[in-house]
Chains A and B, each alone.
Chain A
């Protein structure tokens, strides 16, 4: 199956809200072997001037990969997930992610280029925090931009 070149420029709007919980920050921090107390201890986070526990620098991958799943699972994309290799990743934090944040991600397909029998696909998740009980299209603050490239291996690659 070939990758649909018309994916380039496609966007997927913000879907479900991701509620950032303290225990999720602690669990993710342990999983990447982080030991900084600002991930675990509210007093330590507040001593650094933060409102709540601080997420590790790669925490946004949880939200970004959920957004990417919309593309990978889109039957029009032609992507076979078992042939996907993560090629590169970048996080730009406009502000840190804290426990209590309610986040949504908008996915943009920035690049699709053929490589051998496969393709390199670059996606960008714009992650926003919703204020209060606002809905997904209400008032929101830009939190992070997560850019990733995946290589979809062609046959024999």
Chain B
């Protein structure tokens, strides 16, 4: 992952413009780290028996982990995390994270791509629409980040 060093210039942007893509690997350890950092200790995110006991296929990532990791594409493109003034999504499908502890294999891979969805010249803002896919299915819907350019 690289950090954009050049702030995007509003007049050079166009709706539909591709902002690139990235893969996010997720392990069970990543979910434990996110639980600790966020304070969300729901056991469906770290305990297989609990997760299957409530009818899930297995341990799933926090929706907020996926949302928080996906927006990094926008932050890096904008060049300043403070430029993201509005960020929303709906959580539609779970990200199932298999237990690969002790191996180099990821437990899940989330694919994120971004494109410019709208431009507001009066406000100086850009809406970035994110496509976030796991196992061939969109896991976030209407994942939209509004960036205010300096």
A pairs with B: yes
Task: Give the interface segment out of A1-9, A82-90, A109-117.
Answer: A82-90
Which of B34, B37, B39, B90 has the most CB atoms of chain A within a 10 A radius of its CB? B37
Is the CB–CB distance between B65 and A32 below 8 Å?
A: yes
Is the CB–CB distance between B68 and A89 below 8 Å?
A: no
Per the bound structure, the CA–CA distance linking A37 and B75 in Å amounts to 11
Interface residue? B40 (CB, 8 A): yes
Encode contact with B along A51-73: 1 for CB under 8 Å, 0 otherwise. 00011111001100110000000
With A31-B33, A32-B68, A57-B145 known as contacts, the answer to whether A38 contacts B81 (CB < 8 A) is yes
Is the CB–CB distance between A66 and B145 below 8 Å?
A: no
Interface size on B, residues (CB 8 A): 37
Is the CB–CB distance between A57 and B84 below 8 Å?
A: yes
Encode contact with A along B29-53: 1 for CB under 8 Å, 0 otherwise. 0100110111110100000000000
Q: Which residue of B lies closest to A63 (CB)?
A: B39
Interface residue? B10 (CB, 8 A): no
> In the complex, which of the residues B65, B67, B81 contacts A54, with contact meaning CB atoms closer than 8 Å?
B81
Residues of B within 8 A of A61 (CB): 38, 40, 64, 68
Is the CB–CB distance between A31 and B87 below 8 Å?
A: no
Encode contact with A along B52-83: 1 for CB under 8 Å, 0 otherwise. 00100000000111011101101110011110
**Interface range on chain A: under 10, 10 to 19, 20 to 34, or 35 or more?**
35 or more
Is the CB–CB distance between A31 and B75 below 8 Å?
A: no
Per the bound structure, the CA–CA distance linking A83 and B90 in Å amounts to 18
Residues of B within 8 A of A66 (CB): 39
> In the complex, which of the residues B72, B80, B85, B90 contacts A92, with contact meaning CB atoms closer than 8 Å?
B85
Is the CB–CB distance between B75 and A50 below 8 Å?
A: no
Encode contact with A along B113-150: 1 for CB under 8 Å, 0 otherwise. 00000000000000000000000000000000100000
Encode contact with B along A20-52: 1 for CB under 8 Å, 0 otherwise. 000010011011111111110000000010100
Interface residue? B21 (CB, 8 A): no
With A32-B69, A36-B75, A58-B71 known as contacts, the answer to whether A88 contacts B89 (CB < 8 A) is yes
Interface residue? A96 (CB, 8 A): yes
Is the CB–CB distance between A35 and B37 below 8 Å?
A: no
With A32-B34, A34-B72, A58-B64 known as contacts, the answer to whether A88 contacts B88 (CB < 8 A) is yes
Is the CB–CB distance between A50 and B82 below 8 Å?
A: yes
CB distance from B20 to the nearest CB of A (A): 15
Residues of A within 8 A of B76 (CB): 35-36
9 A-B interface contacts by CB (under 8 A): A33-B24, A37-B3, A56-B75, A58-B67, A58-B71, A62-B38, A83-B54, A86-B91, A90-B88
Task: Give the interface of B toward A (CB within 8 A).
Answer: 1, 3, 24, 30, 33-34, 36-40, 42, 54, 63-65, 67-69, 71-72, 74-76, 79-82, 84-91, 145
Task: Give the interface of A toward B (CB within 8 A).
Answer: 24, 27-28, 30-39, 48, 50, 54-58, 61-62, 65-66, 81-83, 85-93, 96
